[in-house]
Chains A and B, each alone.
Chain A
Amino acid sequence: MFPELNNLLNTTPDRAEQGKLTLLCDANTDGSFLVHHFLSFYLKANCKVCFVALIQSFSHYNIVGQKLGVSLTVARECGQLVFLEGLKSSVDVFFRAQAEPHPLQFLREANAENLQPLYEFVREALKPVDDGDAAWRCPVLLVDDLSVLLSLGMGAVAVLDFIHYCRATVCWERKGNIVALVHDSGDTEEEENNILLNGLSHQSHLILRAEGLATGFCRDVHGQLRILWRTPSQPTTQRDRSLTYQYKIQDKSVSFFAKGMSPAVL
């Protein structure tokens, strides 16, 4: 986790909130550093994490996690982390008929209706265990990323349903959190992605949006992060609080600064 981002979000692993849906989105840049942040944050916060990693392999997250101070191998072995490695499982699902429904079953089907097997997997993974000694703080579902599900043939409505079911189970029933990454292509032609993004934006408590700079590539400022706090369940007359920072990604951390205040410029 990045301590500077914790300060901006006003949280620490000890005081992690519960029952929240956090939406990460990136436009014109790579927002995966946010995924690494939340993964290490919740592992350090002693939460039970179910990570649906559809876009990269386990060792990728593990190596970056080690730079940020968590070991995914250890977490997986002692049951804190349940890792669904999409790329590797897709090969198994695609080439061999499975006896039981696999979470990525939709890869084999021509017109998969919904993501129910994936939801069942998440529900099973985050089931509260009855033995008292390994009591994790709260369950967390982390998805990297949801746009891949659209590319693989699922409709935006199916993905929204999946998140809805997960929210009901994880956030409401078990008082856990969900963090999901969605790419924003910024292109109006990508209708399905826009539906998904808008739908999720209205349900989220916290939106972190990483954008590339409008002026193009810069070596010292890699992008801009917009943080938006929302209260979806209680419509208030107050405006939602929002902050904008620029950031630079380094080898083991990310530094944030106010717009135009990059250390390279000052």
Chain B
Amino acid sequence: MTSSTNVSCFHEARRVAIFGGTHGNEMSGVTLVNLWIQNGKEIQRKGVETKPFITNPRAVEKCTRYVDTDLNRAFTTENLSAPSGDDLPYEVQRAQQINEIFGPKGSPEAYDVIFDLHNTTSNMGCTLILESSKDYFNLQMMHYIKNAIAPDSCPVLLTEHPLLKYSTSRSVAKHPIGLEVGPQPQGVLRSNIFESMRVVLKHALDFIELFNKGLEFPPCTVDVFRVSEKMDYPRDTNGNIIAMVHPNLQDCDWEPLNPGDPMFQTFDGTTIRYEGAGTVYPTFINEAAYYEKQQAFVTTRRETLAAGAIKKT
């Protein structure tokens, strides 16, 4: 059986990392990674070195998102190439250390795959975050995971956007994958959320094992939600929030928001409606950490991405 279609060849994924505690109060990842540091049997796969790693130990210790600055925004070229020093914010120093161990970002020595474990207060279920629409390896992995956990769903958020894309800790790897599971309050560990994250990772590692064994994955398509626009809370002239996410929108991540639909509710009960041009699919609705980033939710548009066939070199 000869293949007349193009097959993209990738090196074996031999070095894989699992990051927890990039935000110190997102407990599923912190707990899973600490468990696996003690006993890594569950994450071992033949031919793969899987390294569990706590990226922001000081934030984890204080059970806070970050100490000086958000680690998951700190992996910019500017930060990574700045001269190292104690005067740098803690998370910038940490980003440089992580880049040395798991990168350098963009180089052939970088880790093959990094999974970065996050929780959200938004009702996003088990979301996979994809940074590039052209990463066939990641697309094939996500396709595999979606099939494996069906009928449960695993939405894919594509953060490829000139302004909204941010420099994540996982971005030092060749194939970065974000796992965002919610809803879960910061600082809280919910058993069901913890177990779903565990299951998704199991399937992801199974995919890597199969790939490394030489299995060819045929061309596939993956439905994704491409990030479109950041929507802030309505504020007064002093910058104070004057309305809340409307009860009709709250918890409705990934559901259509049409022009005219309720979007915010003021504290005295008035409805503010969505006035965009067309239907969008909001997500990260009412994420605790985004109040300070001026984001009530982000809109997305549905897209189908195609991934060519892949196999190992």
Pairing of A with B: no
Interface residues, chain B, with chain A CB atoms under 8 Å away: none
